[in-house]
Amino acid sequence: MSALHIKKGSTSHSAYNLRPNFSDVQERHTITILVENEPGVLARVIGLFSGRGYNIDSLTVAEVDHTGHLSRITIVTTGTPQVIEQIKAQLGRIVSVHEVTDLTVAGPFVERELAIVKVVGEGDKRVEAMRLAEIFRAKVVDTTLNSFIFELTGAPDKIDAFAEMMRPLGLTKIARTGVAALLRGN
């Protein structure tokens, strides 16, 4: 047997390496999925992400075609290029999925999110909150003598920026819808 010159013992990498030699650069992608609006379809998509260890940064879903019973799911995810490719291929494999589009690749695309933000404060802080809201084109949708609820639409980073500004001025609660997105042009 020794005549075979089979190397014994460890090689240059003694630990088992099951990790593929793919790029480890993390990319953020916005993916839209057109699905049949049937019971459990969201669970299929979410289960795929949790079961295979993919990330969901944001997810929105609603029926967009009432006659065809089709819903559009918009998912923002982060992963290596290889993982992003797998996510799309795995989504495409789900029987209820009609179409998978990676807007980040197919792009340019429009991305919008809605947030409602409760800011509690009095005096100068209240005035400042109002002034900043105007700069961000946020609308006041509810007010009391010591609180506002602002409604704001925009790309996620605009909402992040607004929330950051409002924090010292009394931001107490924020609710965000997650991203909805479509390709530009036709």
Residue ranges that bind other proteins, judged by CB under 8 A: 1, 4, 6-11, 13-22, 39-40, 43-44, 47, 51, 82, 85-86, 89-90, 92-96, 98
51 CB contacts (<8 Å, ≥6 apart)? none
Nearest to 174 by CA among 123, 132, 113, 126: 113
Least Cβ distance, residue 166 to other proteins (angstroms) = 40
Say which amino acid occupies 144. T
For other proteins, which is the closer residue by CB, 80 or 147?
A: 80
- Cα separation of 56 and 148, whole Å? 31
Least Cβ distance, residue 48 to other proteins (angstroms) = 8
Least Cβ distance, residue 14 to other proteins (angstroms) = 4
For other proteins, which is the closer residue by CB, 36 or 160?
A: 36
For other proteins, which is the closer residue by CB, 85 or 128?
A: 85
- Would you call 26 helix, strand, or coil by DSSP? coil
Phi, then psi, of 52 in degrees rounded to 5: -105, 5
Give the sign of the dihedral formed by CA 16, CA 22, CA 27, CA 30.
negative
Structure tokens at 7: 């190397």
For other proteins, which is the closer residue by CB, 48 or 165?
A: 48
